[in-house]
Chain A
Amino acid sequence: MTAADPGSFRDPASRVLIDADRVIRVLDQRGLNAWKALADSRFFANAVADGHLIAATDLADPPEGGAGALEHPRVPLITYPYEWTFSMLKDAALLQLDLLAKALDDGLTIKDATPFNIQFVEGRPLFIDIGSFEPYRDGEPWIGYRQFTRQFLFPLMMRAWLDVPFQPWLRGDMEGPTASHMRSLLPRSKRSKPSVLGHVGLQARMEERLAGESVRDDLQQAGFNAAIILTNVEKLQGLISSLTWEPRTDGWAAYESCTHVGRDRETKAGFLRHAMSRQRPERVLDLGANDAYFSEIASDGGAYAIAVDSDEPILERVYKQSVGKSLSIVLSELGNPSPAQGWSGVERPSLFARADANLVIAYGLIHHLIYTASIPPALVVEWLRRFDCPVVVEFVAPDDEMVKTLTSNKHEDELHPGRDEGAFRNLLAASFNIVSERNLGSGSRVLFELVPV
């Protein structure tokens, strides 16, 4: 059944349909003309060959009354900028600028500048919106400049210079912070840097002063040209490249030093490999993936792995080592995963509407949900059941050393009942069959391989 992509409706020239595993882009006459110009360019062939731009093939019979249609390869997992780490957004920003510069050199431009047009495939950013390209018209400014600053530049500045995570802001306001917001946030020492003065202070002031004024014709009359855009793009490339973020705490190192991690890791890996040999999943969702060690085992076993964790420093390391791997990285707090949002509440589907899987890994996770996020054990099991696929889960008993740490400032009557192994088995029995189980060396942890009842 063909369905409209709920996030593809803003551009009247181009919209995306999903037909089972096929991704089809329907073009109106303007979109078709733009596609022909792009397809005939050296830029397009080079960008696709370099793995920077998604491939596209013409379809003979455009559906739904389109003037033309294209088919794209399917991206393994759609993720959103509020699920990316700092380096992912930075790499996406540099790709956006690089493609714009190369397109302009070939007489084309990109009419918007949003990270929602970029996805990560095998650890590299890939521009997926062919409909964003169109021939450059003499005198036209870069229409996407303001959007670029709000959705790429300012979020990166927030993390690099203020050590404030940009993801909650982008999740709350997908348009991103305005220049006026950034003027309020940044200290004067940063705002007055020559490379920043224009993008933040001056933009905020000019946006206030010229709100609602028509200026495109004035710029055209004054002789605006592509060389001016290229100069701005080159400066932005330098500014973005200079932005770095060094996490204050290295979650990776802290995690690896935990006693239970080293002690149990290979046992858990072996248990997962056995489960994979039985379940033969095509896609594995690793919840609370941490350093993605088990995601990589799933990936090495032939599955596509989706590693979800809330620890940005760790996922930064995972991202930088993910090139060429069948692995997607998602930064999300599992106690509050990305919701469905945007226009009509469906434009950007929730994380778990996108991250479907044939096997779920929940190692070292549920005790954090139960003891830290205060989710009742019954709701945790119900949640695992809703994935409607086999689950490999690690049960952690109340007397486990990590649980003692998590509950060090909580009284017994402040915790949900039913946290011991017997109660957990009763909960499992209502929703799953236990295919296999294994006690870990600590005596306080048990691995279960579950299939839905």
Chain B
Amino acid sequence: MIFGYLDPGSGSLILQALLGGIAGIGVAYKAWKHKRMTKRLVKDGADPDASVDDSPVTAES
């Protein structure tokens, strides 16, 4: 992944999903869940991505 030179702010990144309509709220919820699960699995020493449902939420969902 290429990172920009600008610090976008972690809270502001999640927030803009919440502000992006119903589809965005779904994405924000999944991202939040992913974040929490990743943290827990990292803490437990497991592979985080192996246990997280990462099917995308589309704009139409």
Contact = CB atoms under 8 A, between A and B. Distances in A.
A42 interface: no
Given A141-B16, A215-B35, A223 B8 contact: no
B54 to A, nearest CB: 4
B11 A203 contact: yes
Nearest to B59: A227
A301 to B, nearest CB: 43
Interface stretch (A166-174, A206-214, A292-300, A435-443): A206-214
Given A10-B5, A141-B16, A146-B8, 18 more contacts: A145-B15, A198-B19, A203-B11, A206-B10, A207-B10, A207-B11, A207-B12, A209-B11, A212-B10, A214-B10, A215-B13, A215-B35, A221-B52, A222-B34, A227-B58, A228-B21, A232-B16, A232-B19
Interface of A: 10-12, 30, 111-112, 139, 141-147, 149, 179, 198-199, 202-203, 205-219, 221-225, 227-229, 231-232, 235
Given A210-B14, A222-B56, A146 B9 contact: yes
Contacts of A12: 5
Interface residues of B, number: 39
Contact of B13 (A112, A198, A199, A216): A216
Contacts of B41: none
A228 B59 contact: yes
Nearest to A205: B11
Contacts of B57: 222-223
A222 B31 contact: yes
Interface in B1-38: 1-2, 4-6, 8-21, 23-24, 26-32, 34-35, 38
A207 B9 contact: yes
Name the residue among A145, A218, A232 with the largest chain B CB count within 10 angstroms.
Answer: A218
Contact of A223 (B6, B19, B56): B56
A225 B34 contact: no
A232 B22 CA distance: 11
A215 B24 contact: no
Contacts of A144: 6, 8
Nearest to A144: B6
Given A223-B30, A228-B27, A232-B24, A145 B6 contact: no
B-side interface mostly = helix
A112 B13 CA distance: 13
Contacts of B34: 218, 221-222
29 contacts: A12-B5, A112-B5, A112-B6, A141-B16, A143-B4, A143-B6, A144-B6, A145-B15, A146-B12, A198-B15, A206-B14, A207-B9, A207-B12, A208-B11, A211-B10, A215-B31, A216-B8, A219-B14, A219-B17, A219-B27, A221-B31, A221-B52, A222-B28, A222-B30, A222-B31, A223-B56, A225-B56, A231-B19, A231-B21
Name the residue among B9, B18, B38, B58 with the largest chain A CB count within 10 angstroms.
Answer: B9
Given A219-B31, A228-B24, A198 B18 contact: yes
Name the residue among B13, B23, B31, B49 with the largest chain A CB count within 10 angstroms.
Answer: B13
Contacts of B28: 222
A218 B31 contact: yes
Nearest to A211: B10
Nearest to B2: A30
A224 B21 CA distance: 12
B53 to A, nearest CB: 9
B38 A145 contact: no
A228 B23 contact: yes
A11 B24 contact: no
A11 B2 CA distance: 13
B16 A145 contact: yes
Nearest to A216: B13
A216 to B, nearest CB: 6
Contact of A206 (B5, B15, B23, B30): B15
B59 A225 contact: yes
Nearest to A9: B5
A205 B18 CA distance: 13
A203 B15 contact: yes
